[in-house]
A = this chain, B = another copy of it.
């Protein structure tokens, strides 16, 4: 009960506290001037007592926590695992521990921002799924001004203080639809998100823009909510395919929705891609394993090392200006088109 401190180690090993510290970290200048015997004795004592340096005290003294925080709206999204992975990988070499917090509960982003202001971690990667009020951006800027390394992943944030990661998903959606049109499709369904103004999402705009560019009239009938869940997507696809003049292609604004749409097609005897071409969004792993493998838009590589190095370079003080990093989305053609 009660963790041992450096003092306990020092007493037990019959040395001073600073000697213990030197054994742990070496001394500035490389040549750690501790005699082998002393070192040996101290190390044994440490092992024997099960001593671990108190990170809190160390943080207070060093004015850094050696922690990185990843803030996501929720767990359960396979893609977030890749972000965490890249962060852990990159941070590990520099002695950072990655912790994750959830913004979807708790009081949301503000709670995390307060925690960060109070010293939860040295750096923050915060990911947004939706557009957020300006106040959040300002709070993030304030964090940045206080010396916290901040990277925000969001297409709706601009900042002159923190780093922001954008995607080109709107343009990718446009490309996807253009691709379908080029292959002769004229009636192209869209399975969109139901809530939160899907009408104004970039992806939706990409769909509309592509149609306009090719002088194909926008048909409200062809747009259905349902991208948020497999079942809703299945039903959306069903209703799309039950249309008198049914679409020959579908863009789903989520890969799982696209997979459900393929299923719906199959269940009424339509072949993918021959009777119905399907494109998803996000490039999730499941899309590679689906039957048939799913054409999708997204970032081909699932690594987030670019984001991680953005954060780490800022932590290293190598970044002066606020930066904007773009993760270019592409059309990834597989067998569903």
* Chain A residues within CB distance 8 Å of chain B: 1-3, 50, 52-57, 59-60, 65, 69, 74-81, 84-85, 88-89, 92, 97-102, 105-106, 111, 114-115, 117-120, 142, 145-147, 229-231, 234, 263, 266-267, 286, 289-291
Contacts and interface: CB of A to CB of B under 8 A. Distances in A.
Contact of A98 (B69, B92, B101): B101
B52 A56 contact: no
A80 B85 contact: no
B106 A56 contact: no
Nearest to A118: B55
Contacts of A55: 115, 118-120
A289 B147 CA distance: 46
A208 B80 CA distance: 37
Please give the count of copies of this chain that the complex contains: 2
Contacts of A2: 146-147
A75 B80 contact: yes
A1 B147 contact: yes
Nearest to A3: B146
Nearest to A92: B106
B75 A117 contact: no
A33 to B, nearest CB: 26
A117 B290 contact: no
Contact of A234 (B59, B147, B291): B291
A54 B119 contact: yes
B60 A57 contact: yes
A78 B81 contact: no
A14 to B, nearest CB: 24
A101 B99 contact: yes
24 contacts: A2-B147, A3-B117, A3-B119, A3-B146, A3-B147, A50-B146, A53-B118, A54-B60, A55-B115, A56-B56, A56-B65, A74-B81, A75-B78, A75-B84, A84-B105, A85-B105, A88-B106, A89-B105, A92-B106, A98-B101, A229-B289, A230-B289, A230-B290, A231-B290
Closest 9 CB pairs of A and B: A76-B78, A231-B289, A55-B118, A52-B117, A75-B81, A100-B100, A76-B81, A99-B99, A56-B59
Given A60-B57, A289-B230, A1 B101 contact: no
